Structures are given as C-alpha cells and as structure tokens.
Chains A and B, each alone.
Chain A
Amino acid sequence: MRLTALDEAAETLNLRKHMGVAEARAIYPALDVIEDDPTANRRFLEAIADWCDRYTPLVALDGVDGLFLDITGCAHLFGGETPLLKDILARLFQMGIDARGAISSSPGLSWAISRFGQGGIIEHGEAEQALAPLPVAALRLEDETIGGLDKMGLKYVGDLLTAPRAPLARRFGGAVLLRLDQALGTDEEPVSPRLPVASLSVERRLIEPIGAEDDILALTGQVAVSLKPSLEARGVGGRIFELVLFRVDGKVFRISAGTAQPLREPKRIAALFAERLQAIHDDLDAGYGFEILRLNVLLHEDFVTSQGDFEHRQQKDASLAAFVDRVSARLGEDCLQTFQLRESHIPERAYTTVPAIEHLSAPKTREGHLPPARSERPIRLLRKAEPMDAFAIEIPDGAPASFHWRRMQHRVLKSEGPERLAMEWWLDGVDGKDAGDRDYFRIEDDKGRRFWIYRQGHYERDTTQSWFMHGVIA
C-alpha cells in the first residue's frame, strides 16, 4: 500500500507521494490513512464538472483531477475573464475545494500554467514568455520522455523552445513537438465536452433560490416563452428538452423529457415537465433551493407549420401527441407502445413494438403488405409458448383429443389444421432448418374456449414431439 495523495497538513510533513504506508506510519504513528476510491473521486470530479456547467456548456474532464472549460464567448456574461476566473475559484474555495485555474488561448497552456505556474490569465502574445520557466513536465509528456529530456539537459520548456526542432523529433518522436505546439497555440487542440451541447438553451439566474415544484414549473413556463422566438427563427421545434437545476450547494439535477412531435408551445413544454416532476418527485431534493434554472433543447427537428382545417384534424393529431408526451414523460417511453407488422411468417417475429413517441414522428409505413387471404391468428399471443401435455393424438398429423395445460384438462372437440410453419433458414441457419418446424392447430375445447397450439417435430422423423400452447383465440 502506498500513499497516493496528501492533504495540506501532510504536505508540510516529511511525506511524499508513492511512499509506503508502513514507512509513513513508522515516521508518524498518528497518520490517518484513507483508502483511495477512484470511482468516488471520479464521481466527485463529475459533480464539479456539472456545477461548472453554469459557466459554459463545454466542460471536459481532464485526467482524474482536472477540468477544461471552453469559455469562448462566455466571459463577457461574467464581466470579463478576470472576474470569471475569480468567481470560479472563490465559489470552489467556499465549497471547500482547493482549486487552481488559468485562462489562456490554448488548453495546453492553461494546463501548464495552472499546474506548474502561478495561474491567472495569460494574454495572447505572452505564451512563450509564460512557458519558458516551467519544467518540461508542464507539457503533458510521458514520464519516459521527460526522463530522456532530463538526461539531455533539457529541463525547462525554454530549453526546448530554443533547441532545433528536427533533432528533437528524431530523438523523442513527434509527441514532444506536438505538445509544444499545442501549448503555444500553433496547433489546434479540441476540447471534447462530456455532455452533448444543447442546440439552444435559455436560463434564469435567481437571487432568491426557489424550491417548490410550482415555482419551478412556473419559471420553466416563463423560460420556455423566451425560447419560442429562437425556435421560430430557426423554423424548428424541440424533440428532447432538458431542464437543468443548479442547487445552491452545487448539486445539479438534469431532467429530460422527449416529445412525439417537434414542439414549441411554452405551455406544453411546461406541462411536459410537470409530468416529469410528478414521476421523479422523491428523487428531486430541493434542499436549500435552486439558484439557476436552465432549459436546453438537446434535439430539434424541422417544425411543419400548417393551417388548421374545419375538421380539426390537426388538432386531433396534436392532442394525441400531447397525450403520448404526457404518458412518456410520466411513465417512461417504454410504457406506451405501438405495433408494427414485419414480413415474417413466424408468429412471434411478425411484429415489433415501437415506443409510441417514435411512432408518431416516423413516416407512415405503407399499408400494402396484406396477405392475400385472412390468416386467422389469435388475438392474444403468449410471450413465450408454454409446453403442455397432449394425449390421444391422431396420427400422423392430427390434433390431440385432449391436453393438459396449467393443471387443467381440456377436451378438444373441434380442431383446424395443421398449418405447417418452417423456421426461417436465412436467419436460423441451415442446420436448424427442419428441427424447428411447427404444426399449428386452432382448437376448440368442450367449454367453447379456443386456443392456438402447435406441435414441434415431425411424426415420421422425430421420436419425441412436444406440444406448446401459443395463443388465445377470441
């Protein structure tokens, strides 16, 4: 066991990272050692990243202990770069987090300055000047490369800046020069944000935090009103909305809700979140209240505007979409489903279920593939065919005279069949071609109950044949 991190008090002592725990305990018997928990660290870092969302939507994780914030075009909202950096560091400090930060024109430079320099703001032309006195480790190089450079006497970035480039590349590979260029800003380095960037977003910062559900909904409605003009200007409507609530103590809640059709109407957006809040009621702990409320549009689609007709057809579509939205928001998207027919003769493969929320927006499929004759399938199909015992089977290819299913004896009076359905060899493979053949029968028992049963296996070939119950006929 080794020490992986030290707190402020421990740093002042004669302790180092990577020191054995036994050794450290020998020096300081009163040492308090807590086991490292990488996943908890990660969660904490992600929570801070969530919190940083208040400054910019582009937040990326950097290793296990760093964050990149792309503040392009955001600084003016906080009164410039200096106040922005001060605000971030002060707030983090108040939350008990010791953070260092730097603002510069490239991620690499900011990384170097905040970890090895004094932090603060580096203006555009000052990159070389700021980098020169830092050790080569500030260039985010691998340990091996740093060791090699060290041996060569290249201890500081300034040494690399003055050294000729070609021999460096030959000796240490392209990584050194790439990192150097990235730090200087001559090579572009993208920051990949951890969350999808909303195509549109509006937010409201509150002086007095709110906590009540009604207040949140009312505010969502207001914010949605200000979202409408920008949606209209782009000619789109939102399909997935996200409500981001920043709690006073730094916790961030993200609540998303999907819609069946592109949506602009502020009232319906608010109604959507009313259902969502109902559903997650217990998980949303308002605590001391929320100070920032943001409404994001994560996915948008073209909004087809159409004039209403006298039959109010459009209105009916809209109210169906509204109903689907409400149900999906409250009970989950999988709760409400529609069926789509597929071209397969295997009963359980002849349809698929599609969440209703996707069905409405999908283009209407053609209705053309009706079979030439009515096939007379059961109205209810068991999820999985249930094995049953069949007796007095008419050979070779007849229905049983009675069967035992779910502890009940049924006497078969009438039967229709068999209807032989072979498995699909193009899906199930040539080997299983004959094995899965099923002979289906529609049967009626002595009480008039009608069922759909099948036999698996051929009479001529297979010694054992098994019987299954597969559906209920009206």
Chain B
Amino acid sequence: MAQSAVTRERLFALRETIAKLEGKPAPALAAAQSEALADNGLAAKNDSGPRLPLGIPALDEAIDGGLPLDGITEARTDLLREAGAGSGFVLALAAMLQRQVEESHSAPLPILWIADMVSTMEAGVPYAVGLRDFGLKPDQFFYASPRKLEDALWLAESAVESGVFPATVLEIRGNPKPFGLTESRRLSLRAKASKRPLFLLRQAGEEEASSAYFRFLAAPAPAQARPLPDGTMLGGSIGNPVFHLTLEKSRNPAPLSFLLEWNPHDRRFFAVSQSANPRLPDERATHSGTPLSAPSNRPDRKKEMGALLAFARTS
C-alpha cells in the first residue's frame, strides 16, 4: 500500500513536470478547472493563451481553437520548388494577424520576415507588389537577410522578445544541425513569455522533433477557377491560391489533411470542399479507386525521423 502511494506520488510529480514543459496548468489544477468549466465547454478552449482561429470550424476543432499566439507554429514544404505554397500559407497567417490588429483599431504593426539565403536564391525574395496583392501592407513589412543561421536565430529571438511584431516568420532550409530541439525550445519559451507567435517556415525539410505546437505540411494544390458574376466559373482561369495542408503534428491521433483557399481581399481562409478533388484529372484516371480513408483507431506506424542512408551495409 505504501509502495503504491509513493509510486503514485512520483507519477503525479512526473505528470506535473510534463504539464509544465508543455506549458499547461498542472493536472491537479486542471482537474479542478475542467470541473468548473464543465458547463460551458467553449470557454475551456481559451484556457491556454490567445489563439488565432482559421475560421473553419472542423479545422479549428482539430487545433484546439486556433493557432497559438504565444508559441511556434511550423509549416514545412517537401521541396524547394513548392516554396510558393509554404510561403503563401505563412504570409496568409501573417495577413490574418495584421487584420486582427487593424480591427482592434490600434496602429498598424509590422511583420518581420527573416529570410534564409539559399531559399531566397532558389525561390526569390518577398515581392512588395505581390505582398500587397496578397493582403499585406508592403510598408509594414520588414525583411531581414542575416548571413548566418546563428544570426537568424538571434534575430528571431530578439524580434519575438521585443513584442512589436504580431507575426515573425523565420525561414529555414532543410534540417540544419545548429537548429535543434534546444534552440527551438528556447524560441518557444521566448514566444510564451512575450505572447507573440513565431512562424517557422522550413523549406525542403523533413519532419523533425521541435517545440512547435503544430506542424503543417504545405503542398501546392490546383487553384479553383475564377467565379463569374452569373455564378458560373471561368474555365481555365487561375483563381485564388489553394493550399493542400496536412496537419502533421497536433493532438489528433491521425494526420489531418485539408484544402484551404486564401482570399486576399477578405483576408481569410475558405475551405475548399473535398469533393472538389485535390487530385488532378489525370491522377484520378490512373487511380480510379476511392482513396483509402485515414485509419480511425490509431495512426500508421511512425516514420523514422531524420536522414536515412540506404547504404549502411555496403562496407
């Protein structure tokens, strides 16, 4: 009996440590709180800091009410030639935050984009005119191009710490060694302390353990046609950008995949119905069967992280 009491105490201590690491109230307190909040379930969502809802109920449900505004959110792309999707998604989030600031009738606040040198060479610099078309304010856009990764991390840290930017975007290419769990934890703590979000844009990177709350895989998806005044669509035209996002890291058991359309004029996302198939016509033709549904009970076996070398046994 005494044995089990000690074990339980240690278990509680461990739980509390974990909760502290995750930035949530300790379980003992949480239990009391959840009882108190049992009758209004909506409020329970707002217990952990400010959030940015994406405006799509199904998605907001999956990410606990919205993206955290006091932590890191990561968006990654598989390949550098898909940089447009990743950049677009992150810039759209920044535009939403800027809109929030404007709606609260305070002075406009700038966005900071910390660029990575190679990604800039491969995919280009943020283009002021295009940013305006995308729903951002070019004169409220700061662009930093540090030479080294250490400088970029210092810049990101002091930007988040200063608390002047409603959104800071840190662009990183691949999975560099100097940016590991320690550094991302450090950034996450800074963000928590100053209640400012940091968006980590990992171009051509793999999944990597980090202290980001959520990680999205951004992939391009065909845009929808432009609507005509009479309600029909203009064939062959390229309308608002659509992103194919996969929520890779979250509290959900299975990765969630969805299509979002960004409307630069209203500065908000719209869901593209899944029936408007993300696959293109020719892909559909080759795999005509219905796509497999995501496993409902548990996720697929977790893939190994990091780089895999195929020639381990050659020597």
* Chief secondary structure at chain A's binding surface: mixed
Residue in chain B with minimal CB distance to A445: B220
Which of B92, B130, B280 interacts with A446 by CB under 8 Å?
Answer: B280
Determine if A380 and B124 form an interchain contact, defined as CB atoms under 8 angstroms apart.
yes
Residues of the B chain whose Cβ atoms lie less than 8 Å from the Cβ of A378: 84, 124, 127, 130
Residue-wise interface mask of A (423-455) relative to B, using a CB-CB cutoff of 8 A (1 in contact, 0 not)? 000000000000000000011101111110000
Determine if B143 and A448 form an interchain contact, defined as CB atoms under 8 angstroms apart.
no
**Which of A155-163, A323-331, A388-396 is the contact stretch?**
A323-331
| B270 in the interface (beta carbon within 8 A) | no
**Which of A78-86, A143-151, A337-345 is the contact stretch?**
A337-345
Residues of the B chain whose Cβ atoms lie less than 8 Å from the Cβ of A413: 222, 280
Determine if B142 and A473 form an interchain contact, defined as CB atoms under 8 angstroms apart.
no
| B15 in the interface (beta carbon within 8 A) | no
Given A326-B158, A413-B222, A449-B220: A341 touches B128 (CB 8 Å cut-off): yes
Which of A320, A370, A382 interacts with B162 by CB under 8 Å?
Answer: A320
Determine if B146 and A379 form an interchain contact, defined as CB atoms under 8 angstroms apart.
no
| A204 in the interface (beta carbon within 8 A) | no
| A474 in the interface (beta carbon within 8 A) | yes
Determine if A449 and B84 form an interchain contact, defined as CB atoms under 8 angstroms apart.
yes
| A193 in the interface (beta carbon within 8 A) | no
Interface size on B, residues (CB 8 A): 62
| A319 in the interface (beta carbon within 8 A) | yes
Which of B106, B128, B133, B221 interacts with A448 by CB under 8 Å?
Answer: B221
How far is the CB of A362 from the nearest CB of chain B, in Å? Answer: 10
| A48 in the interface (beta carbon within 8 A) | no
| B87 in the interface (beta carbon within 8 A) | yes
CA distance A364 to B140 in the complex (A): 11
Determine if A382 and B124 form an interchain contact, defined as CB atoms under 8 angstroms apart.
yes
Determine if B139 and A338 form an interchain contact, defined as CB atoms under 8 angstroms apart.
yes
**Which of B17-25, B209-217, B236-244 is the contact stretch?**
B236-244
Given A375-B133, A377-B129, A450-B241: A472 touches B84 (CB 8 Å cut-off): yes
CA distance A330 to B219 in the complex (A): 36
Given A341-B132, A413-B222: A474 touches B109 (CB 8 Å cut-off): no
| B107 in the interface (beta carbon within 8 A) | yes
How far is the CB of B152 from the nearest CB of chain A, in Å? Answer: 10
CA distance A97 to B290 in the complex (A): 91
Given A322-B162, A379-B130: A444 touches B87 (CB 8 Å cut-off): no
CA distance A406 to B81 in the complex (A): 9
| A244 in the interface (beta carbon within 8 A) | no
Given A338-B139, A442-B238, A448-B220: A474 touches B128 (CB 8 Å cut-off): no
| A238 in the interface (beta carbon within 8 A) | no
Determine if A374 and B133 form an interchain contact, defined as CB atoms under 8 angstroms apart.
yes
Given A341-B129, A416-B237, A474-B262: A313 touches B124 (CB 8 Å cut-off): no
Which residues 38-55 of A sit at the B interface, judged by CB distance below 8 A?
Answer: none
Interface centre among B92, B142, B243, B244 (most CB of A within 10 A): B142
CA distance A356 to B262 in the complex (A): 29
How far is the CB of B211 from the nearest CB of chain A, in Å? Answer: 23
CA distance A416 to B162 in the complex (A): 43
Residue-wise interface mask of A (362-379) relative to B, using a CB-CB cutoff of 8 A (1 in contact, 0 not)? 001101001000111111
How far is the CB of A25 from the nearest CB of chain B, in Å? Answer: 53
Residue in chain B with minimal CB distance to A470: B124
How far is the CB of B260 from the nearest CB of chain A, in Å? Answer: 11
**Which of A58-66, A215-223, A347-355 is the contact stretch?**
A347-355
How far is the CB of A386 from the nearest CB of chain B, in Å? Answer: 10
Determine if A471 and B144 form an interchain contact, defined as CB atoms under 8 angstroms apart.
no
Determine if A379 and B128 form an interchain contact, defined as CB atoms under 8 angstroms apart.
no
CA distance A307 to B282 in the complex (A): 65
How far is the CB of B285 from the nearest CB of chain A, in Å? Answer: 13
Residue in chain B with minimal CB distance to A350: B129
Residues of the A chain whose Cβ atoms lie less than 8 Å from the Cβ of B27: none
| A383 in the interface (beta carbon within 8 A) | yes
Interface centre among B125, B129, B219 (most CB of A within 10 A): B129
CA distance A402 to B109 in the complex (A): 42
CA distance A406 to B265 in the complex (A): 33
Interface size on A, residues (CB 8 A): 57
How far is the CB of A356 from the nearest CB of chain B, in Å? Answer: 6
CA distance A64 to B162 in the complex (A): 50
| A335 in the interface (beta carbon within 8 A) | yes
Determine if B133 and A380 form an interchain contact, defined as CB atoms under 8 angstroms apart.
no
| B16 in the interface (beta carbon within 8 A) | no
How far is the CB of B238 from the nearest CB of chain A, in Å? Answer: 5
Residues of the A chain whose Cβ atoms lie less than 8 Å from the Cβ of B120: 383
CA distance A444 to B226 in the complex (A): 14
How far is the CB of A347 from the nearest CB of chain B, in Å? Answer: 7
Determine if B164 and A379 form an interchain contact, defined as CB atoms under 8 angstroms apart.
no
Residue in chain B with minimal CB distance to A378: B130
| B53 in the interface (beta carbon within 8 A) | no
Residues of the B chain whose Cβ atoms lie less than 8 Å from the Cβ of A330: 154
How far is the CB of A280 from the nearest CB of chain B, in Å? Answer: 14
Interface centre among B130, B219, B222 (most CB of A within 10 A): B130
Determine if A379 and B126 form an interchain contact, defined as CB atoms under 8 angstroms apart.
yes
Which of A319, A338, A367, A472 interacts with B83 by CB under 8 Å?
Answer: A472
How far is the CB of A322 from the nearest CB of chain B, in Å? Answer: 7
Determine if B81 and A448 form an interchain contact, defined as CB atoms under 8 angstroms apart.
no
Determine if A365 and B220 form an interchain contact, defined as CB atoms under 8 angstroms apart.
no
Residues of the B chain whose Cβ atoms lie less than 8 Å from the Cβ of A374: 133, 264-265
Residues of the B chain whose Cβ atoms lie less than 8 Å from the Cβ of A319: 162-164
CA distance A251 to B236 in the complex (A): 71
Residue-wise interface mask of A (415-426) relative to B, using a CB-CB cutoff of 8 A (1 in contact, 0 not)? 110000000000
Residue in chain A with minimal CB distance to B154: A330
Determine if A448 and B222 form an interchain contact, defined as CB atoms under 8 angstroms apart.
yes
Residues of the B chain whose Cβ atoms lie less than 8 Å from the Cβ of A2: none
CA distance A250 to B85 in the complex (A): 58
Residue-wise interface mask of A (254-283) relative to B, using a CB-CB cutoff of 8 A (1 in contact, 0 not)? 000000000000000000000000000000
Determine if A379 and B237 form an interchain contact, defined as CB atoms under 8 angstroms apart.
no
Given A379-B131, A447-B220: A331 touches B155 (CB 8 Å cut-off): yes
**8 shortest A-B CB distances, which residue pairs?**
A474-B88, A339-B128, A380-B124, A381-B127, A351-B128, A377-B130, A448-B220, A472-B84
A-B contact pairs, 17 of them (CB 8 A): A313-B106, A337-B144, A339-B138, A340-B139, A374-B133, A377-B127, A377-B130, A377-B133, A378-B84, A379-B88, A380-B84, A380-B87, A380-B126, A414-B222, A414-B238, A442-B238, A473-B130
Q: A341-B129, A471-B127 are in contact. List 16 more A-B contacts (CB 8 A).
A: A319-B162, A322-B162, A326-B158, A335-B146, A338-B139, A350-B129, A351-B138, A376-B133, A378-B124, A380-B130, A414-B223, A414-B238, A449-B220, A450-B238, A474-B84, A474-B85
Chain B interfacial positions (CB closer than 8 Å to A):
81-85, 87-89, 91-92, 106-107, 109-110, 120-121, 123-134, 138-139, 141-147, 151, 154-155, 158-159, 162-164, 219-223, 236-238, 241-244, 262, 264-265, 280, 282
Chain A interfacial positions (CB closer than 8 Å to B):
311, 313, 316-317, 319-320, 322-323, 326-327, 330-331, 335-341, 347, 350-351, 353, 356, 364-365, 367, 370, 374-383, 406, 408, 413-416, 442-444, 446-451, 471-474
